[in-house]
Structure 1
């Protein structure tokens, strides 16, 4: 049972090195997408037979489709790699495992063929996301006057409707899915340019597009509404809480495989304790 860990990162090569070291396993490889806005040179010391860097890099902007494109580009390179994988595990450079590497591999070995990702119904369970889909968002574009044009579009144009009669679901961007699901997502976006265009005008599309494509396919039966990650949004900010040593017991009791987010510069002690346990 082989895992491809796909890690999206933009900073702190040392913390990324630590994450890779903790997840190193004979049946694991790492694919690193470094934001195109970031100098890749400080990261290249990590390159090895099992650590590869995504070639088709993207400049990633918060809330924009660019992070979806970065993920899809990475998927494409994983799919044509010499090795074949059972799971693709999408992580950020600020994630960290809560279980041992052996336990993580055993879990996936016992759940072959499944897709672990959030699938909250936008219509019923996650209604705050409705304006993302019904309004026009130009967050993926960079030109003078885009905010004025965005206002005009939303004032004079009719509300947007989901393409292909897709039922939208989602919530968290991060997930662990089988290789067959990755293949299906890539091919679907290649064959349905209208879906890509729709999500290019959607704010936070990374939290919806992948889950929605799978949920509206024959693979819906494989989906488990659990992304296996502990993420704390209790602070009410645009980004989740950064964990410190004070959160150790909560993290250990979460039952999850991974958590985000962590920062060595804020508190490295929590990573040390997780390593010990």
Structure 2
């Protein structure tokens, strides 16, 4: 089996380098997008490029921005254009770490799509608001209060005027989940190449946090929907109160290994160095399979 990772990153060079080194150790190729806002030095960028098949820096990516989705899709298209043989494509961030060799879990790679996904009828109210309102200021710095206020006012105008959307213009049923997923290569190539799926991508351009909708909506409205396992093979701590998600530390070692997941997130140089060192010495036989 040959695996490739599509990675997006923007900071914490030591952690990114360690993540890339582990991927290389386990034989995973990497196609990487570095946020245009990144302050990595020339020497750091050179070190990164030595560990990747391809490095792009096309977009300045605001949090939750459509540009993040564009960067991921463009890297997937790069993979397709290489003509290289891959079996699975995994999307990860520069703060994610591969836990153990993918070869220890050959039963996972049977054509299953690992992707969190829920249908629109299960969306919470705040997500429905995101669907209804067009993200008209998506290119602006919304962490700055004047832009936040302008965004709020535009949202209210859309609500009161009835100009908000009811869904995608095409009427395609929406599904939602995290952008971190694992796809068979052939499914990935289809989703980022065929016009009907790229049409969904274009329709999401003015959607808040569009990355949460594209792959789920495309795949769940494709012949591949029955192959989806909503366990996405990522260990993430949303519930300990240390952050959403938490930056992992050495107390997470046992849960990570017992989870049977392939990746874990999020890591930082400041909080996760000890855990990363422990993972380097954890034997593969300790990895569980409970999910």
TM-score (norm 1): 0.87
| 1:265 alignment counterpart | 270
| 2:21 alignment counterpart | 21
Tell me the CA shift for residue 237 of structure 1: 8.4
Tell me the CA shift for residue 223 of structure 1: 1.4
| 2:248 alignment counterpart | 243
Is the 1:136–1:160 Cα contact (8 Å) retained in structure 2? yes
C-alpha separation between the residues in 2 aligned to 1:237 and 1:130?
Answer: 27
With over 3 angstroms needed to count, the CA separation of the structure-2 counterparts of 1:20 and 1:108, relative to structure 1, is farther
Q: How many residues align?
A: 272
| 1:182 alignment counterpart | 188
Deviations 1:40-97 (A, max 9, x none): 532321323x612333621111122111111111111111114121111111111112
Deviations 1:193-241 (A, max 9, x none): 6533431221121112111101101111221111101111225688411
Tell me the CA shift for residue 162 of structure 1: 2.5
With over 3 angstroms needed to count, the CA separation of the structure-2 counterparts of 1:114 and 1:126, relative to structure 1, is farther
With over 3 angstroms needed to count, the CA separation of the structure-2 counterparts of 1:177 and 1:194, relative to structure 1, is closer
Is the 2:11–2:39 Cα contact (8 Å) retained in structure 1? no
With over 3 angstroms needed to count, the CA separation of the structure-2 counterparts of 1:24 and 1:39, relative to structure 1, is same
Aligned with 2:231 (options 226, 230, 239): 226
| 1:169 alignment counterpart | 175
| 2:89 alignment counterpart | 88
Deviations 1:18-54 (A, max 9, x none): 1122222575211111011114532321323x61233
Is the 1:136–1:154 Cα contact (8 Å) retained in structure 2? no
**More displaced, 86-95 or 146-155?**
146-155
C-alpha separation between the residues in 2 aligned to 1:63 and 1:194?
Answer: 20
Is the 2:158–2:164 Cα contact (8 Å) retained in structure 1? no
C-alpha separation between the residues in 1 aligned to 2:125 and 2:243?
Answer: 17
Is the 1:54–1:77 Cα contact (8 Å) retained in structure 2? no
Aligned to 2:8, what secondary structure does the other structure show? strand
**Which structure 1 segments of 5+ residues have no match?**
none
| 2:205 alignment counterpart | 200
Question: Does structure 1 residue 136 correspond to structure 2 residue 134?
Answer: yes
| 1:105 alignment counterpart | 103
With over 3 angstroms needed to count, the CA separation of the structure-2 counterparts of 1:73 and 1:267, relative to structure 1, is same
C-alpha separation between the residues in 1 aligned to 2:236 and 2:211?
Answer: 16
TM-score (norm 2): 0.83
With over 3 angstroms needed to count, the CA separation of the structure-2 counterparts of 1:237 and 1:249, relative to structure 1, is closer
Is the 1:235–1:241 Cα contact (8 Å) retained in structure 2? yes
With over 3 angstroms needed to count, the CA separation of the structure-2 counterparts of 1:238 and 1:221, relative to structure 1, is same
Aligned to 1:91, what secondary structure does the other structure show? strand
